[in-house]
Structure 1
């Protein structure tokens, strides 16, 4: 039984088809998963189940291999028709926001942004954690935070390495005032 906030399995499939169709080039399973997981509308198990059902149902098809030999997938004509006809089951704002997140993620990946983070122990036994994103020779993001434990520093580094695009997007949103619900009024 699907547990995704977006609704039942039909909505999960429509959501995935919508994103894949609008990206409009073949993607690996891992990349499709990553773009679907950019927000919390679809749970991984629902995505995995829907993906295989869409493959078996002819809504998506294997469409070549990437440079590592992983299968790439694209939406079939049948999948496009399903996505267009049933799109109204999901709020347009949800689809638009999700598409924006997916394109930002893919842009970050395609641009080859490099991720670096490290920890320095200070004399007072706290830890400075430095986070850096570079695109070619240009630093596009760098910040340092002091934390009280090596464990917390490790967790922050792991999160940054796992989701650098989300961290970057979040910091930019905070600094530009786009998430004012976090600020006391």
Structure 2
């Protein structure tokens, strides 16, 4: 079996192109249902182990190598992809230096993200500058028009509030999980 470009170094923290491909195949195989590329990208970006350009390049090579195949379209007309039998074999046979804990953590994060998306949880984050130079950061989670969580905090600067807003928008499911853990008394969440 000849596969192109499997050993080339990439810029992702996870390392080589081989590792990027194994990482993606592992997530897709364990999620076990077709995904559009945007959702796959969102899932892979949850843990910051893979850079977007490395994902895009590796993904298209895996499609060309018949490790991933188009299996349909979603309701928006986006192509849906799934791991092929060949992709399953390649992922299981290739040696990787990715730690099992990284794969497990990434899969758990992906499943949480998909659960949030499937449930249709809507998020909102805003900032409001105050006359004294401080800023209010507000955020909320709603599911089917029911407010799950709503909070606001005054911070010392617009810059800090904007960073909070960006972080909230990038990983709302992690924020929600963290809020629940902290309110439940699981302070170890901060150290995991």
Offset at residue 33 of structure 1 (A): 0.7
1:54-95 CA distance string (max 9 Å, x none):
011000011111111111100000001111222654221111
With the length of structure 1 as denominator, give the TM-score of the two structures. 0.86
- What secondary structure, in the 3-state scheme, does the structure 1 residue paired with 2:12 have? coil
Q: Which residue number corresponds to residue 65 of structure 1? A: 73
Q: How does 1:1-185 map to 2 (within 5 A)?
A: 1-86=9-94, 89-122=97-130, 124-173=132-181, 176-181=186-191
Aligned length, in residue pairs: 182
Aligned CA-pair RMSD: 2.2
Post-superposition, which runs of at least 4 consecutive aligned residues in structure 1 deviate over 6 A? none
Q: Deviations over 1:131-184 (max 9, x none)?
A: 1102224332222111234454344334323331232234445552124549xx
Q: Secondary structure at the match of 1:178?
A: helix
Query: What TM-score does the superposition give when structure 2 sets the normalisation length?
Result: 0.83
**More displaced stretch, 86-95 vs 148-157:** 148-157
Q: Indicate conservation of the 8 Å contact 2:37/2:81, yes or no.
A: yes
Cα distance in 2 for partners of 1:162, 1:88 equals: 28
The farther-off stretch of 61-70 and 134-143 is 134-143
> Gapped runs of 5+ residues in structure 1?
none
Structure 2 contact 13–49 (Cα < 8 Å) conserved: yes
The unaligned stretches of length 5 or more in structure 2 are: 1-8
